[in-house]
Structure 1
Amino acid sequence: MSEHRIRVDVDDAGVATVTLDRAEKHNALDRAMFDAIVDAADRLARDRRVRAVVLHGDGKSFCSGLDISSLGENGGPSELLAREDGHLANLAQRVSVDWSRVAAPVIAAITGNCFGGGLQIALGADIRYATPDAKLSVMEVKWGLVPDMGITQSLPRLVGIDVAKELTFTGRILSGTEAQSLGIVTRTVEDPLAAALDLAREIAGKSPHAVQAAKRLYDETWAGNDPAAALLLESELQVSLMGSPNQLEAVSAGMTKRPANFADPD
């Protein structure tokens, strides 16, 4: 990571807060920001203490998209589109799709501008909270481009193809309220960061094995075309949980109405 762009803090409850830290540029994406986001996702994917992640932007905006002025630096677009050995996605795509590699749920808190690549990063999260007046756009057509940061893996799970095409062909700006009505945003709230942290703490209080298994179950089967494989995965995950220490702790805590004390995954 060549420059400071991201802050990552993990509290005692296992809630990780990831802050895009380029407020003076509305957290626009230059090469250093791409590297920093991928590095943060990789660190959290390997940290077994993490039970929930909140992703947000410092300052007025979540992320205003690509920093066009930086395109000629550090190899330019060709560097972003290169795939390293062992990775399905290229660097530009990994800032979105790598959040699926984090076993814990990821919640994006959206304020201000969430344009182009910034929207695709937010779509890579499991849940999105936004202010009613947040501004969201699949904006790449403005620059004569197509969205290419993992949107094919995220947007089809949220909207119909006609909605995806309309938004992509026009690049029009949605409010947080309209984005919620379309299913792109999970919920609108006046303070997305506070609401996301509250949700993350609630999730962190559940069995991490159960939560992480549920994320895997949906990520691997949602809108899939293999019902047999999906049903088999349900059973396999359930068998792995039944009788495990955290599952027994969940039952014991529920029966005695006491806070549960769950162990971190190995």
Structure 2
Amino acid sequence: MSSQSVQVNVDDGIAYVLLNRPEKMNAINYAMFSELDSAIKSIKADPTVRAVILSGAGGHFSSGLDVKSVMSAPMQALKLLFKLLPGNANLAQRVSLGWQTLPVPVIAVLEGCCYGGGMQIALGADVRIASTESKLSIMEAKWGLVPDMAGLVALRQIMPKDQAMLLSLTAKVLESHEALTLGLVTQVSKTPMVSAQQLAIQLMQTSPDAAAAIKLSINRSWTASIRSLLCRESISQIRLLLGKNSKIAATRQLKDPQKSYQDRQSGW
């Protein structure tokens, strides 16, 4: 699946999602919001995808919201923010939160600028690998706005409250190693795309059903009650034991390390 603002290419089980407005440092306009939302849905429906690598074209992940483009079209701004119920995710929030709903690991490769809305999108990934030269910021306060793209869902799990508060209030621009120290990124690499590809291949050595169940369990249970955590673990384990990929995993460990997994079960 390819479009003007977002390109998706699936190769050997890895879905490469590319933010593709290099002339604008991948600033996010309405088309990119819409195309990212569609990309997430298409990947979710493809059982052959085992991992996602999300990156930006032209040496930058994203400079954030294309304010001029969005504000010049009031109807598009309304479409970004519209939701039937306050607790539902709108289009702007789905391009961050949506990555967490995928039953496969999502790795964001952060090069150059990763500001504002770009940072919110990256926070939706399971792993963020930043280049040694990248700069990151929760920048909405600089524009008189609140971070409203659901990035706080991940931010509150990876960073102490006081640090998240300071970064959001000050719109401070962080060097990659400082972001690593604070927990905003997972890893810093001189070659982040190579590191992401190596990690994706490593993650693909385990059962796709187990990966989906683990991601679901961690995301849903991280702040849930112990009772709901225990319930989810038991249900997932029964589903895995009844599936074919758990038997293939045992075969790979005991007899044939090269035996291929089947496509992921539906329903994860």
Instruction: Report the TM-score, using the length of structure 1 for normalisation.
Output: 0.94
Unmatched segments (≥5 aa) in structure 2:
none
2:240 matches 1:244? no
Distance 1:194 1:88 in 2: 36
The superposition leaves residues 64-100 of structure 1 with CA deviations (integer Å, 9 ceiling, x where unpaired) of 1001110212614222111268992011111101112
The superposition leaves residues 217-238 of structure 1 with CA deviations (integer Å, 9 ceiling, x where unpaired) of 00101133x1111012112111
Residues 163-182 of structure 1 correspond to what in structure 2 (within 5 A)? 163-182=163-182
* SS state at 1:18 partner: strand
Aligned letter for 1:29?
A: I
Distance 2:125 2:101 in 1: 11
The superposition leaves residues 90-125 of structure 1 with CA deviations (integer Å, 9 ceiling, x where unpaired) of 111111011122111110000000000000000000
Aligned letter for 1:187?
A: Q
Aligned position for 2:96? 96
Aligned letter for 1:7?
A: Q
Aligned position for 1:150? 150
The sequence identity of aligned pairs, in percent, is 39
Q: 1:58 to 1:218 in 2, by over 3 A?
A: same
* SS state at 2:59 partner: coil
**Aligned 8 A contact 1:205 1:260 in 2:** no
User: How far off is 1:256 after superposition?
Assistant: 2.0
User: How far off is 1:205 after superposition?
Assistant: 2.6
Distance 1:42 1:89 in 2: 14
User: How far off is 1:36 after superposition?
Assistant: 0.8
Distance 2:208 2:143 in 1: 42
* SS state at 1:54 partner: strand
The superposition leaves residues 3-24 of structure 1 with CA deviations (integer Å, 9 ceiling, x where unpaired) of 611111111x311100111111
Aligned position for 1:199? 199
Residues 96-175 of structure 1 correspond to what in structure 2 (within 5 A)? 96-175=96-175
2:10 matches 1:10? yes
Aligned position for 2:223? 223
Task: Give the number of aligned pairs.
Answer: 263
The superposition leaves residues 189-237 of structure 1 with CA deviations (integer Å, 9 ceiling, x where unpaired) of 011111111111221232100011000000101133x111101211211
Instruction: Report the TM-score, using the length of structure 2 for normalisation.
Output: 0.94
Q: 1:168 to 1:74 in 2, by over 3 A?
A: same
Distance 1:87 1:152 in 2: 14
Instruction: Give the alignment's Cα RMSD to 1 decimal.
Output: 1.8
Unmatched segments (≥5 aa) in structure 1:
none
Aligned position for 1:31? 30
